[in-house]
Structure 1
Amino acid sequence: MALHGRKASSASRTRRVTRRVNDSMIGSHVERSPSGRPRHAASAGAERASRVDFSDSRRSRRANRGMVEQVDVAATSGESDSDFARRRSRRGYVEEIQARTRRRKMAFLGAVAALVVVVAAVAGTMAFFAWSDSQLSLGDSNAKEALVAAEDGAASYALLVADLTTGATAPNDTDKAYMAVRIDAASRVLTFVTIPSSVAVELSDGERHALSDAQSVGGDAELLRAAGALLGIEFSHFASTNAEGLSRLVDIVGGVPVELSEEVDDPRAGTRVLAAGAQTLDGAQALTLLRASNYADALETQAKMRALFTVNLAERAASGEGLAFPSVVADGSAFVSTDWTSGQIIAMGDAFSPLTDATVYAAVVPGRTVDGEDGAPATFEVAGDELASMMEAVKSGQSPQAAEADLANVDRSLVTVEVRNGSGIQGAAARCGELLTSDGYEVASVGNVDDGAVYPETLVIYKDEAFEIAAKAIVSDLSAGRVVNGGDFYHFDTNVLVIIGSDWIG
């Protein structure tokens, strides 16, 4: 049987195919012109080269016969040298443009990524402050009705309020704590003035009440106006908390260090006893300190303890590094109600940091506690002239004790005093004279008032302005009285005249 298959290629056919392949492919050879100069096929037209050169003579002979065994990847194109150079130049330019475009895209994507990070950080910060501010807000309080913005760069005043009532102890007369603070960031001076909660003030209903009744009469705005009128200032800020809030704030900052000058042991304040000396108070111990009032000099010592605690609490909160203080503000915002924003609190912390290097003063409104009649609660009667002198020092950024220092410098042995009894209580003038003599004054005479009237308050009268400071010293020493410039209304031969009123208790 005959087998039919593909016809075998002859040698001539193979050479023809090889030549056609050679003509259509880029080989590892370079065609030569008759002049021996290399040229590209595009410029040769249809004319074929008469000779093809290879580095190997055998391969040259085989190539001339139309046999090509290898195609080199480094073969040249069929364009002229000038066209080839221009193409290469254009390709390099295009590649450079493409590279620049890629670099620009990468830079743009990097900038977009950085912007996204910044926007996320800003959004997070805004969310943080918004949340903190919502916690700090005054809520239903009407305090903003009474707040007056301070002038730019000037010191401002804030009223701090704490309700220290706890379920574990019986209510105390001093459970309501009121403290006015003068804030002078430019001079880095803080002045704390404690206001007794039982101080008698006139409220909007026209009646005299204890300051602690103000909120029940007209809310926080009533309290701000009454306390401001008492001190002769206007408040720009308000902050309040309660016993639980204070305890939590103390625990948030890890305790508050204090240096106690005496042991604190007041059953009405709590069951804990605080030893004298340096210690760090937890929340429950802090409440005991703030509520205690059975000191030898109750009001003044309590005021100093509360001011000391407040300053140390602020120092403890602001003493951390980095985000520590903002974190404390955020954690404590749920326990404080205030018109301050978290940003303002943080800025104030930065302005006074470190607080240990700032100047801090503390004082209490001068006066005395007077027992109520017919079972009425005791009230605190303010020594008006002393308070006015003290607040002059406070407003000028000086120590509240500056006025007290002036009184201490009075040479009492050079001051002559006449004492008259206008209280209706027999022997009151003699007792007052004895007290003044023991304080170093020269008491010229004692007796009753000429008009036989009963005076409701004790008057300490001077005529010569040189003895105004002496009259204030007598008020301070007696813990009673109102300084009066007698002018032509009173007649006496001594430097100062004291008329005992029914408010004085010898």
Structure 2
Amino acid sequence: MTELRIRPRRRRITFVLIAALVIALIVAASGLWFKLQGNISTASMRSSESAAPDSSHGLNILLLGSDTRDLEASGYGKATGARSDSMVLVHVAAGNKRIDAVQIPRDTLVDMPACEDTGHGPSAGGVSMINSALNYGPACSVAAVEALTGVQLNHFIEVNFEGFISIVDALGGVNVCLPQPLKDSKAKLDLPAGDQKVNGTDALALARTRHAVGDGSDIARLGHQQMVMSAIVQQATSRETLARPDRLYSFLDAATQSLTVDPGLSSLSDLTALAARAQAVPSNEITFMTMPWAPAPQNINRVVPSADADALFASLREDSPVALAGKASGKKSDEDAAAAIDDRAAAVQITNAARVANLASDYAKKASEQGFTVSGIGNAASVQSTTSLLAADTEQARQTAAALAKELNLDIAPKTAAIDGVQLHLGQDYQSVQKPEKPEVETTNRKASQSLCG
């Protein structure tokens, strides 16, 4: 089992490193590094100078999809300022353990703080749809999202319609899967049902359509946005992209030309470091989710965060996993299925060292229900004051121990020991190491690794 887990990972790491080396050599040899650097546009992140937010509890980035019509391409309407057609709060957990990407509906009402002029005019603030903040610049969107969520942002990245199209086209298109045909003349969308590859124009139309899905509201289209984001992640990290230096460079060129970022992401080295953090996160630990919402009391055609949203944003602030109700929608990928089996494969022994009746058997039942193999339970020869979790010095055992602690909600780190498998010794403090139950969040969500047909 260990070999099956390690080999694909090594191939993936080796392949990515080789691809990165090739593109780095091409860029360095031709002087294209300076061209890519020159592509990047910046804008102020805050209206006044202030210390950078603490990033020890993870990195928070606001992705803004601008609907500005002031573009070279025609067909997107007249220039009427800028609004955020999509807004995604991305949390990269400390240690690059996971990425949680939360879509904030553009129809969300928020009491926006006043914004000073950062080159787009000042705003007096007040209750308004959150997408209107971008008309006063990214700094105003940053302030609005921080006011809504309580999450301190470290960076923002803005991309407009043309930029989105060019990024997808540079990838050679992305794969999507539609359960039924979709047609929306307003979004310039006309796609058949089934598994298919779409170009940048169609991918944008699919992400933007409202009239072809559900009740025609902004909320109804967010599921398609999740699918498109997943498709871009899968295509950008695929062999089809990484094995072709020309396509990889085209992608980097399109991306850097398309982005407006804050000064903290204004260099290629900054963006490369951020990309490296994202690459370190397994795709089955990248979750797209919609902000839980409720109809706004003052306008049923607008939304406000629900109680579930409060719990979700609290998890981001605490850098803790979001407790999603049920499971992410759709089918699991082969990678998800392999990981689910692999991190529960080592045998687990559970010992009652607290002298509490049936303690070991109770925990064994919980572990078995979560798919772990409990090879034995028993009572310790003597009472222990502290609970301990031990693992053999193998990757398999360490993964099983970490998964066991997570599934049993134990706030305890596994320690390596000269044993077989995994051993959980429940001491007299077993209740104090139990983390408080987090409220489950009910919302539309999907993993980046999921089948696009799911």
TM-score, length-normalised on structure 1?
Answer: 0.48
* Distance (whole Å) between structure 1 residues aligned to residue 274 and residue 125 of structure 2: 38
* Distance (whole Å) between structure 2 residues aligned to residue 344 and residue 261 of structure 1: 40
Q: Tell me: CA distance 1:137–1:196, structure 2 relative to 1, closer, same or farther (3 Å).
A: same
SS of residue paired to 2:195:
strand
Q: Is the 8 A contact 1:393 1:403 kept in 2?
A: no
> Which of 84, 93, 97 is equivalent to 1:184?
93
After TM superposition, the structure 1 = structure 2 runs for residues 185-224 of structure 1, keeping only pairs within 5 Å, are 186-203=95-112, 204=114, 205-216=124-135, 218-224=136-142
Q: Is the 8 A contact 2:167 2:255 kept in 1?
A: yes
The number of aligned residues is: 283
**Which residue of the partner structure matches residue 380 of structure 1?**
303
Q: Is the 8 A contact 1:329 1:342 kept in 2?
A: no
**Which residue of the partner structure matches residue 380 of structure 2?**
none
* Distance (whole Å) between structure 2 residues aligned to residue 348 and residue 191 of structure 1: 15
**Which residue of the partner structure matches residue 208 of structure 2?**
291
Could you list the per-position Cα deviations for residues 134-153 of structure 1 after superposition, in whole angstroms to 9, with x for gaps in the alignment? 31121xx3225578645466
Q: Is the 8 A contact 1:188 1:358 kept in 2?
A: no
Q: Aligned partner of 1:198: which letter? A: D
> Which of 16, 25, 39 is equivalent to 1:135?
39
Q: Is the 8 A contact 2:96 2:277 kept in 1?
A: no
Shift of 1:206: 4.6
**Which residue of the partner structure matches residue 448 of structure 2?**
none
Q: Is the 8 A contact 1:180 1:192 kept in 2?
A: yes
Shift of 1:358: 4.4
SS of residue paired to 2:190:
coil
* Distance (whole Å) between structure 2 residues aligned to residue 152 and residue 208 of structure 1: 29
> Which of 284, 307, 314 is equivalent to 2:233?
314
Q: Tell me: CA distance 1:352–1:281, structure 2 relative to 1, closer, same or farther (3 Å).
A: same
Q: Tell me: CA distance 1:213–1:127, structure 2 relative to 1, closer, same or farther (3 Å).
A: same
Confirm whether residue 239 of structure 1 aligns to residue 152 of structure 2.
Answer: no
SS of residue paired to 2:86:
strand
* Distance (whole Å) between structure 2 residues aligned to residue 134 and residue 197 of structure 1: 31
Greater Rg over alpha carbons, structure: 1
Segment of structure 1 superposing worse, 294-303 or 304-313: 294-303
> Which of 162, 175, 181 is equivalent to 1:257?
175
More contact order relative to length (CA 8 Å, sep ≥ 6): 2
Q: Is the 8 A contact 1:188 1:351 kept in 2?
A: no
Q: Aligned partner of 1:332: which letter? A: A
* Distance (whole Å) between structure 1 residues aligned to residue 206 and residue 198 of structure 2: 9
Q: Is the 8 A contact 2:64 2:158 kept in 1?
A: yes
Q: Is the 8 A contact 1:257 1:312 kept in 2?
A: yes
Shift of 1:158: 0.8
Q: Is the 8 A contact 2:110 2:304 kept in 1?
A: no
Shift of 1:194: 0.8
Confirm whether residue 365 of structure 1 aligns to residue 326 of structure 2.
Answer: no
Q: Aligned partner of 1:226: which letter? A: A
**Which residue of the partner structure matches residue 28 of structure 1?**
none
Q: Tell me: CA distance 1:299–1:356, structure 2 relative to 1, closer, same or farther (3 Å).
A: farther
* Distance (whole Å) between structure 2 residues aligned to residue 151 and residue 175 of structure 1: 26
Shift of 1:263: 3.6
Q: Aligned partner of 2:260: which letter? A: S
Confirm whether residue 163 of structure 1 aligns to residue 44 of structure 2.
Answer: no
**Which residue of the partner structure matches residue 51 of structure 1?**
none
Could you list the per-position Cα deviations for residues 290-344 of structure 1 after superposition, in whole angstroms to 9, with x for gaps in the alignment? 1112423755552232233223223423431375545521343112112323233
**Which residue of the partner structure matches residue 330 of structure 1?**
253
Q: Tell me: CA distance 1:175–1:228, structure 2 relative to 1, closer, same or farther (3 Å).
A: closer
Q: Aligned partner of 1:366: which letter? A: P
Structure in which a larger fraction of residues adopt helix: 1
SS of residue paired to 1:265:
strand
Could you list the per-position Cα deviations for residues 428-447 of structure 1 after superposition, in whole angstroms to 9, with x for gaps in the alignment? xxxxxxxxxxxxxxxxxxxx
SS of residue paired to 1:196:
coil
**Which residue of the partner structure matches residue 349 of structure 1?**
275
Q: Tell me: CA distance 1:277–1:394, structure 2 relative to 1, closer, same or farther (3 Å).
A: farther
Q: Tell me: CA distance 1:382–1:151, structure 2 relative to 1, closer, same or farther (3 Å).
A: closer
Identity of aligned pairs, percent? 18
Q: Is the 8 A contact 2:98 2:282 kept in 1?
A: no
**Which residue of the partner structure matches residue 431 of structure 1?**
none
SS of residue paired to 1:213:
helix
Confirm whether residue 230 of structure 1 aligns to residue 230 of structure 2.
Answer: no
* Distance (whole Å) between structure 1 residues aligned to residue 31 and residue 94 of structure 2: 27
* Distance (whole Å) between structure 1 residues aligned to residue 284 and residue 51 of structure 2: 25
Q: Tell me: CA distance 1:215–1:227, structure 2 relative to 1, closer, same or farther (3 Å).
A: same
Q: Tell me: CA distance 1:168–1:122, structure 2 relative to 1, closer, same or farther (3 Å).
A: closer
Structural RMSD (CA): 3.9
Q: Is the 8 A contact 1:315 1:356 kept in 2?
A: no
Q: Is the 8 A contact 1:174 1:291 kept in 2?
A: no
Q: Aligned partner of 1:160: which letter? A: L
Shift of 1:128: 3.5
Shift of 1:192: 1.2
Q: Is the 8 A contact 1:239 1:338 kept in 2?
A: yes
SS of residue paired to 2:183:
coil
Shift of 1:221: 0.8
* Distance (whole Å) between structure 1 residues aligned to residue 36 and residue 46 of structure 2: 19
* Distance (whole Å) between structure 2 residues aligned to residue 123 and residue 286 of structure 1: 29
Could you list the per-position Cα deviations for residues 147-193 of structure 1 after superposition, in whole angstroms to 9, with x for gaps in the alignment? 86454664211111112466535699997111111123723412111
Structure in which a larger fraction of residues adopt strand: 2
